[in-house]
Amino acid sequence: MPVGAFCVRNDYGAKAFGGAAPPAGDPAHRYVFAVHALDVDDLASQGVDADVSPAVAGFNLRFHTIARAVLVPVFGH
Q: What does the pLDDT read at residue 38?
A: 94
Contact 36, 65 (CB under 8 A): yes
How far is residue 50's CA from residue 15's CA, in Å, rounded to a whole number? 8
Q: What does the pLDDT read at residue 71?
A: 96
pLDDT, one tens digit per residue, over 6-29 is 888 887 888 888 778 888 888 989
Task: Kindly write down the DSSP assignment for every residue of 10-76, as one continuous string.
Answer: -TTSSSS-----PPTTSPPEE--EEEEEESSS-SGGGT--TTS-HHHHHHHHHHHEEEEEEE--EE-
pLDDT, one tens digit per residue, over 23-77 is 888 898 999 999 999 999 888 888 899 999 989 999 999 999 999 999 999 988 7
Report whether pLDDT(4) > 90: no
